[in-house]
Amino acid sequence: MVLSQGPSDPRDMRVMKHFVKALALGKKGKLDKVHGRPTVDSLRCLTRHFCNAWERYHEASIPPEIKHLMAYYIQGELADELGLKSLRKEQTFLTIENFVKLHQFLWFEDFHDYVHEGYRVDDANLLNTHCFSSARVAELCGAKYKDLVLLIGWKDGEAELKLKIRRAICKGKNDRQT
């Protein structure tokens, strides 16, 4: 695809400034209850998402200096002009909705080019095990296929998955060893 640096090319700083300003005025924010505008962090995140998507679609890159300058522009000049806040959401625990969203991203919106789809399955299993067990993530990442047993069954009309992890005890690390 041949690209010409026309009037709407995001590799031009003026175009990016106009785009981000329009995004800030058009996007509804959740944390700013008074004006309903997005926060500085959410606007930076949206800009990053746009740049990444544009680069993927056009198979071209936006210069890194444009990206870095946009971050400073959003935090400084644009925040002052539009009254954007630097609010942060209070830290919460993982909910079922968050967990479902993580899996939806992994399976439907993840643009990473996996060498083999089995790696995506491994990532999903690590996420499931981390969320639903007391096992440490490092133990699972270091586990081999012979250490994991996946049972698939049918219970009450629904599929049921059971993951059994065999823990290897190192010599001298168990109290029962002599």
Each residue of 15-57: pLDDT tens digit?
Answer: 999 999 999 999 888 877 787 889 999 999 999 999 999 999 9
Structure tokens at 45: 């995140």
Task: Tell me which residue range forms the domain holding 114.
Answer: 96-165
Question: Considering the domain boundaries, does residue 158 fall inside one?
Answer: yes
- H helical segments located in the chain: 13-26, 40-58, 64-73, 79-82, 96-104, 117-132, 137-141
Instruction: Please tell me whether residues 64 and 103 are part of one structural domain.
Output: no
What is the chain's length?
Answer: 178
Cα distance from N-terminal residue to C-terminal residue, the chain: 69
| Cβ neighbours of residue 61 closer than 8 Å, sequence gap 6 or more | 55
Task: Tell me the two tokens of residue 25.
Answer: 């005025």
Q: What is the pLDDT of residues 60-93, one digit of tens each?
A: 999 999 999 999 999 999 999 998 888 887 766 6
Query: Is there a domain that residue 136 lies in?
Result: yes
Q: How many domains would you assign to the chain? A: 2
Instruction: Note the pLDDT of residue 178.
Output: 44
Is 176 part of any domain? no
CA 142 to chain centre: 23
